């Protein structure tokens, strides 16, 4: 009979009825057997205890007192005979009188024994008769001697008769006493045997009860545990995914375990049904982007692996992998809201699907499903997937050349650019597309993997972004080399400080009116043992991208403070050292505390440091930058705005922050002689600085004419190769000493 048949024949018991053969009756039977065995044991022990009590009472009340009286009587008999013997010899009347008392006591002991044991009354009466006759004859004989009615020689025969009577009486009484002793011992032995028998009976009763309880318990436990273990084993296998949920427990018997098995089977049926339904839903969710209903990254990688296998099997002429990133999606998402942004992504996804269906690149004429219905790829069909955010990827099958791929990319670009109407508003986005062709861009198909293809298309997409967006670019191996160099550069930057690869150069700054040295700008340089020497333009952007820039800024500040301390110890006149803070450092939360920690015990040297920040540093974080500048000013540092005139002039920063210096960018000062517009711009900057009561520093002065022109425009300080190239700390120290000697000589 199958499990289904067994289940169909079994009907669960109602809650208010008990089956005849239930577990509770079995468990109750254990209690009943145990109780009966215990009661039987008590009954036996009580009976034996009563018998033993009777025996002990008999010993206490009869046997022992009789024995005691007989022993006392025997002792008194011997004492009476001894007294009479002495009285006979010594004619002592006192001893004769004392023997009378002993005789009364003897009779009293025998009477007491007769009362305790009536069955010995006849024997005791005979003893008394014999004693009376013995005592009367012996007493008369002694009395005759005392009264001198009889000569001593005449008493021999009577004396012998009395002695014989005493011996007979003593022997008879001793025999009775021995008999009573034997009876006492027999009674004690009987009590001992009964106690031993009672213990044996109790032990046997307990063993029998224990065996019955053990057998019933074993049978019940085995019956229960076998079925429980079977259920537990099934559940364990189901839990670890190594067992089919179609397993069912056999329904045998009609006890509670059978009913448990019935509901266990029912539960598994429900669980199996729910699992089948949820597994399909989980697979759909695991391989589908819930927003657009397109395949997600996981499903896309499976499909891509399938296409690679098809290429290895020569089942396709090649295929294209496209990486798409929407242009200007963030402004639309921010302006219209996230719900509108989601709606826009769904609309873009539908256009991508429709565009791919219009191509003639697929080997199958069947339309690609709009939704993912399983976790299996769709070989030979195009795939449109959403990775995350506004990033999409596509697989185009049977693409033979770049012209064919370019035509499809252009069609996609035009389709995405068409205006959208979202929540009653018109909006538009562009798309940057990166294309990787297999095998044109990958070489040997046996060495291709999905991650490389995705990376290649991603790099091509970023190249499209760099070329102005809303266009497409094909993968070029040079892009991978550039990417590898960036990765290598990122890893090297992280080790630059621990490996002592960084150093500072100091470019002197001179007052233009009298050519007096007033300070220097600290310039960061990086000398890598394998990659060579880098200027800030080569690696600062990478440090900003990978989050290392604040660590570099901290190192520069710490190195400058250490150098100022060394000059202080050498009693070299202090000058102002300018150093650059990145935008991230300028807007860093807790910057004053960081500077205070780095300065340590050299906080007085902060008065010789000028922090340079760019105009764009505070565009997004003006409140934080303003607060940081105010705190740094209180600590004694000076603040300069770097590259002024080269970017977006931040009048907000000038208005709200306490700026000490404006640094005029070299791009403006370079053309100051030949370009009147540049000259007018520099003049405007200097006039603005004068009105704001801040000083000016011109960068990039390369000749005397530039220096004279800037001085004529009332620029305060200048720096550049005309005055000095950037110097190492040792060279700058020597340079300062040389300048000092010249000043003294003048």
| Average pLDDT for 656-662 | 85
- Is 60 exceeded by the pLDDT of residue 121? yes
Average pLDDT over residues 403-424: 91
User: pLDDT band at residue 16, thresholds of 50, 70 and 90?
Assistant: very low
Give the residue-averaged pLDDT of 365-371: 42
Mean pLDDT score, 98-121: 77
The CATH number that applies at residue 405 is 3.30.70.270
Statement to judge: residues 178 and 125 lie in one domain = yes
Which of 447, 475, 503 is the C-terminal boundary of a domain?
A: 475
pLDDT band at residue 536 using 50, 70 and 90 as cut-offs: confident
173-182, 219-228, 238-247, 391-400 — which one is most confidently predicted on average? 391-400
Most confident of 60-74, 186-200, 704-718: 704-718
Q: Which segment of 101-115, 426-440, 571-585 scores lowest on mean pLDDT? A: 101-115
Q: In what order do the strands lie in the sheet with 383-388?
A: 383-388, 391-397, 319-327, 430-438, 472-474
Residues 551 and 444 in one domain: no
Report for 55-59, 351-355, 527-531, 641-645: range of highest mean pLDDT: 351-355
pLDDT of residue 597: 95
Q: For the residues of 342-385, what is the DSSP string, one character each?
A: HHHHHHHHHHHHHHHHT-S--S--SPPPSS--SSS--TTS-EEE
Percent of the residues in the chain that have a pLDDT greater than 70, as a whole number: 80
pLDDT attached to residue 642: 84
Q: How many angstroms separate the CA atoms of 34 and 32, rounded?
A: 5
CB 545 within 8 A of CB 507: no
Whether 236 is covered by a domain: the verdict is no
- Average pLDDT, integer, range 165-176: 79
Specify whether 613 is located in the same domain as 727: yes
Q: How confident is the model at residue 20 (pLDDT cuts 50, 70, 90)?
A: very low
Do residue 302 and residue 449 come from a single domain?
Answer: yes
Q: Which of 475, 507, 542 delimits the end of a domain? A: 475
Q: Is residue 201 part of a domain?
A: yes
Residue 345: the pLDDT is 92
Q: What is the mean pLDDT of residues 686-707?
A: 91
Q: Is the domain of 352 the same as that of 266?
A: no
**Which pLDDT tens digit goes with each residue over 577-610?**
999 998 889 889 899 999 999 999 999 999 999 9
Tokens found for residue 342: 């989601």
**Segment among 65-79, 104-118, 212-226, 708-722 with least mean pLDDT:** 212-226
Q: Comparing 533 with 706, which gets the higher pLDDT?
A: 706
- 341 and 466 belong to one structural domain: yes
**337: in domain:** yes
| Domain end residue (candidates: 475, 501, 535) | 475
Verdict on whether the full-model pTM lies above 0.85: no
The pLDDT, as a whole number, for residue 103 is 82
Structure confidence at residue 273 (pLDDT): 73
pLDDT band at 412 (very low <50, low <70, confident <90, very high): very high
Structural domain range at position 371: 290-475
pLDDT for res 247: 66
Comparing 169-173, 251-255, 269-273, 334-338, the range with the smallest average pLDDT is 251-255
277 with 297, same domain? Answer: no
User: In this structure, what token pair is assigned to residue 217?
Assistant: 């318990």
Give the mean model confidence (pLDDT) for residues 182-207: 74
Residue matched to tokens 């039977």: 29
Number of other CB atoms surrounding residue 645 within 10 Å? 20
Please report the pLDDT score of residue 275 as a whole number: 67
At residue 34, the pLDDT reads: 66
CATH number, domain with residue 641: 3.20.20.450
Q: Name, of 10-19, 394-403, 652-661, the range with top average pLDDT.
A: 394-403
Domain assignment present for 233: no
- Shared domain check, 250 and 218: no
Has residue 263 got a pLDDT over 70? yes
Say whether both 196 and 253 belong to one domain: no
**pLDDT-based confidence at residue 523 (cuts at 50, 70, 90):** very high
Higher local confidence (pLDDT), 652 or 296: 296
618's CB contacts (< 8 A; 6+ apart) are 586, 587, 625, 626, 650, 652, 653, 657
Specify the number of domains making up the chain. Answer: 4
Give the pLDDT score at 362: 38
Burial 196-216 (b: 16+ CB within 10 A, else e): eebeebbeebeeebeebbeeb
The residue that leads in pLDDT, 566 or 615, is: 566
In a domain, 480, yes or no: no
Residues 258 and 296 in one domain: no
Residue 638 and residue 576: Cα distance in Å, rounded?
Answer: 9
Do 432 and 564 have their domain in common? no
* Highest mean predicted confidence (pLDDT) among 245-254, 439-448, 567-576: 567-576
pLDDT of residue 205: 72
Assess if residue 461 is contained within a domain.
yes
State the Cα–Cα distance between residues 298 and 320, nearest whole angstrom. 18
CA 144 to CA 548: how far, in whole Å? Answer: 148
Work out the average pLDDT over 524-539. Answer: 84
- For residue 17, is it within any domain? no
Q: What is the pLDDT of residue 317?
A: 75
Residue 605 inside a domain? The answer is yes
- One domain for residues 680 and 532: yes
pLDDT above 50 (res 392): yes
Confidence of residue 8 (pLDDT cuts 50, 70, 90): very low
Residue 70's nearest CA partner among 122, 108, 126 is 108
Measure the CA–CA gap between 250 and 236, rounded to whole angstroms: 18
What integer pLDDT is reported at residue 281 of this predicted model? 59
* Residues 346, 390: Cα–Cα separation, whole Å: 10
Over its C-alpha atoms, the chain yields an Rg (Å, rounded) of: 61
At residue 669, does pLDDT exceed 80?
yes
pLDDT of residue 611: 94
Task: Kindly tell me if the per-residue pLDDT of 693 is higher than 50.
Answer: yes
When comparing pLDDT for 256 and 89, which is higher?
A: 89
The pLDDT of residue 258 is 72
Residue 641 belongs to what H/E stretch?
strand 638-644
Question: Does the pLDDT value for residue 650 go beyond 70?
Answer: no
Which residue, among 136, 141, 453, has the nearest Cα to 311 in the 3D structure? 453
């Amino acid at each position: 009979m199958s499990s289904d048949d067994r289940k169909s024949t079994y009907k669960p018991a109602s809650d208010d009825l008990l089956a005849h053969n239930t577990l509770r009756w079995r468990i109750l039977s254990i209690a009943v057997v145990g109780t009966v065995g215990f009661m039987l044991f008590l009954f036996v022990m009580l009976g034996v205890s009563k018998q033993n009590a009777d025996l002990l009472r008999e010993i206490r009340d009869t046997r022992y007192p009789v024995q005691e009286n007989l022993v006392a009587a025997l002792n008194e008999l011997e004492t009476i005979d001894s007294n009479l013997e002495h009285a006979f010899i010594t004619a002592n009347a006192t001893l004769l009188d004392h023997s009378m008392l002993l005789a009364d006591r003897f009779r009293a002991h025998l009477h007491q024994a007769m009362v305790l044991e009536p069955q010995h009354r006849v024997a005791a009466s005979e003893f008394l008769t014999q004693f009376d006759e013995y005592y009367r004859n012996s007493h008369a004989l002694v009395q005759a001697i005392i009264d001198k009615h009889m000569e001593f020689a005449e008493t021999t025969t009577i004396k012998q008769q009395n002695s014989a009577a005493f011996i007979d009486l003593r022997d008879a009484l001793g025999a009775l006493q021995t008999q009573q002793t034997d009876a006492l011992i027999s009674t004690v032995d009987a009590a001992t045997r009964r106690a031993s028998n009672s213990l044996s009976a109790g032990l046997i009763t307990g063993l029998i009860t224990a065996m019955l309880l053990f057998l019933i318990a074993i049978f019940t436990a085995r019956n229960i545990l076998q079925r429980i273990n079977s259920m537990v084993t099934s559940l364990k296998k189901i839990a670890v995914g190594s067992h089919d949920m179609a397993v069912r427990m056999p329904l045998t018997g009609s006890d509670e375990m059978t009913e448990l098995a019935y509901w266990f089977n029912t539960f598994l049926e429900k669980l199996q049904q729910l699992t089948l339904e949820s597994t399909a839903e989980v697979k759909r969710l695991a391989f589908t982007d819930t927003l657009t209903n397109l395949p997600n990254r996981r499903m896309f990688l499976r499909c891509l692996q399938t296409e690679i296998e098809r290429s290895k099997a020569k089942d396709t002429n090649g295929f294209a992998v496209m990486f798409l990133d929407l242009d200007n999606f963030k402004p639309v998402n921010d302006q219209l809201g996230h719900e509108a942004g989601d709606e826009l992504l769904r609309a873009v996804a539908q256009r991508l699907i429709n565009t791919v269906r219009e191509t003639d690149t697929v080997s199958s004429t069947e339309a690609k499903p709009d939704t993912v219905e399983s976790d299996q790829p769709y070989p030979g069909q195009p795939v449109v997937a959403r990775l995350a955010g506004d990033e999409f990827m596509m697989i185009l099958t049977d693409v033979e050349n770049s012209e064919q791929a370019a035509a499809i990319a252009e069609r996609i670009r035009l389709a995405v650019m068409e205006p959208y109407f979202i929540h009653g508003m018109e909006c538009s986005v562009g798309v940057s597309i990166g294309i990787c062709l297999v095998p044109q861009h990958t070489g040997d198909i046996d060495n291709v993997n999905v991650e490389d293809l995705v990376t290649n298309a991603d790099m091509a997409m970023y190249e499209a972004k760099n070329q102005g967006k809303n266009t497409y670019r094909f993968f070029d191996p040079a892009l991978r080399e550039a990417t590898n160099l960036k990765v290598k550069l990122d890893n090297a930057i992280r080790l630059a400080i621990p490996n002592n690869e960084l150093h500072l150069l100091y470019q002197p700054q001179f007052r233009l009116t009298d050519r007096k040295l007033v300070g220097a700008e600290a310039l960061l340089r990086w000398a890598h043992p394998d990659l060579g020497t880098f200027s800030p333009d080569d690696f600062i952007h990478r440090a900003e991208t990978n989050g290392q820039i604040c660590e570099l800024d901290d190192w520069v500040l710490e190195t400058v403070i250490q150098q100022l301390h060394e000059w202080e110890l050498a009693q070299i006149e202090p000058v102002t050292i300018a150093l650059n803070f990145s935008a991230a450092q300028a807007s860093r939360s807790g910057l004053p505390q960081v500077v205070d920690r780095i300065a340590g015990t050299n906080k007085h040297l902060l008065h010789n440091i000028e922090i340079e920040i760019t105009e764009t540093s505070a565009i997004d974080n003006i409140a934080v930058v303003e607060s940081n500048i105010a705190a740094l000013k209180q600590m004694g540092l000076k603040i300069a705005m770097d590259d002024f005139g080269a970017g977006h002039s931040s009048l907000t920063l000038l208005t709200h922050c306490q700026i000490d210096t404006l640094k005029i960018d070299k791009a403006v000062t370079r053309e100051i002689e030949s370009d009147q517009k540049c000259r007018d711009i520099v003049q405007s900057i200097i006039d603005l600085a004068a009105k704001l009561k801040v000083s000016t520093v011109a960068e990039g002065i390369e000749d005397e004419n530039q220096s004279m022109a800037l001085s004529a425009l009332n620029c305060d300080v200048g720096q550049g190769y005309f005055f000095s190239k950037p110097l190492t700390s040792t060279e700058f120290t020597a340079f300062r000493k040389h300048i000092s000697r010249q000043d003294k000589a003048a």
